[in-house]
Structure 1
């Protein structure tokens, strides 16, 4: 079978994701409504408990940044595992592993193409939250750098979760645990920790990049290039670990003859 160029494969996957997005608009609209409503409900609850004198200032901006980043990371994390589950259910999983491309590259390109479509939803959700809360974030051009470091780390975790899906097929309960653990992890202002806590935060997945984005978008602080280097190192390490674990899980699944089973 002749190999497709990587760029051609990306555009094919992007077109596939766009067709699916257009065919199921109710799902996209429902996702926007639910995610926005959850945040706004929490915001109104906090206002009610604290009274009319509540003034969070840039803390509310930081909370908005953390919530949006968590939404994006959630899309990323469960894209690969969701693809694996759907392909296993329809009986086409084995065909993907026989493709001309290596499996990690295929799933990574498919996930990136899907994320570009999902970014439409994420930007829409962010815009609605800013309108509802009357808090408007800053968008300096350099924010894409820490965002990229976070995306690498998120895909590393996505491949780890995908490995578990490949081995066990159904891990929905784990999804919930990971999802809400990440909400705490990404929303916590680890960039304000001191001493040993700050050192620990450098090893937690995606937290260095999330801290930089809070500084840029909520506090209007200039980008720290030293912390950016740490963020990219963090994302690169988790991405590499995720790929290695996924390759091991692929070999293990093939050895056990469970690739086509569900």
Structure 2
């Protein structure tokens, strides 16, 4: 498994270096989109607008959305690209299982993308003048968010295996993810708090907003909920992907156009 991960990391590094201009363009688009929304909100609200820590929370949510969006599209996008280039079947007859191959590739690509996400965050903080806190305790809730994101990514990958083209569905999911990463479910109470804890990645995102935007201590009971949430969605995504893999192999339409 380590050999597979190192190979995928080398592949990702080569592609990243070869298409560096595209990566720089992605940083520019992400930061300019956020800053345009920020200027529009400031103009509409007038000179007396005071965001307070809400702007910090919005920045956290936007950067999380950028990160989760990359994770969600990594597996389904890889499946569609491999099918178009005619190399999808080679991945499924490798000594490793398909889920191991795609998970190793997604994690390797994510490690390379962390630098881009960090650059986007620093530029946004510099443009808005709002500097977030980065305690070491944010690693645990970030892992819960990534678990849920990879679960959704595998679920989208299962759709790509069966239906081949899922671009429109992926576009709809992008707006849903923006809602999940931006809405402050950690402030909900009563029955709505339970709903917020059931939404994918929402508990972990709420903890990150509390840590980075509001400088609150780590909420251990809420972290436990976030771990369960991320683990369940990850397990569900793996199960759906395994079912889709068995289905396309049984009907012999793995690489159909």
Which TM-score bucket, shorter chain as reference? over 0.9
Q: In structure 1, which of residues 126, 134, 156 is the aligned counterpart of residue 129 of structure 2?
A: 134
| Aligned residue pairs, count | 257
RMSD of Structure 2 on Structure 1 (CA) = 0.6
Shift, 1:175, TM fit: 1.0
Whole-Å separation in 2 of the counterparts to 1:166 and 1:55: 48
1:57 shift after superposition: 1.1
Which of 51, 64, 85 is 2:80 aligned to? 85
In the other structure, the counterpart of 1:205 is 200
State the partner residue of 1:244.
239
CA distance in 1, matches of 2:85, 2:256: 10
Q: Distance in 2 between matches of 1:8 and 1:89?
A: 26
> Alignment partner for residue 16 of structure 1, among 11, 14, 20?
11
Question: Structure 1 residue 234 and structure 2 residue 213: aligned?
Answer: no
Gaps of 5+ in 2: none
Aligned counterpart for 1:108 among listed residues 103, 122, 139? 103
2:182 alignment partner in structure 1: 187
Matches within 5 A, 1:29-44: 29-44=24-39
SS of 1:261 mapped into structure 2 = coil
Quote how far apart the aligned CAs of 1:26 are.
1.1
Q: TM-score, normalised by structure 1?
A: 0.97
Instruction: Tell me the TM-score normalized by structure 2.
Output: 0.99
Q: Partners in 1 of 2:173 and 2:251 — Cα distance?
A: 27
Cα-to-partner distance string for 1:192-244 (whole Å, 9 max, x where unaligned): 00000001111100000000000000000000110001000000000000000
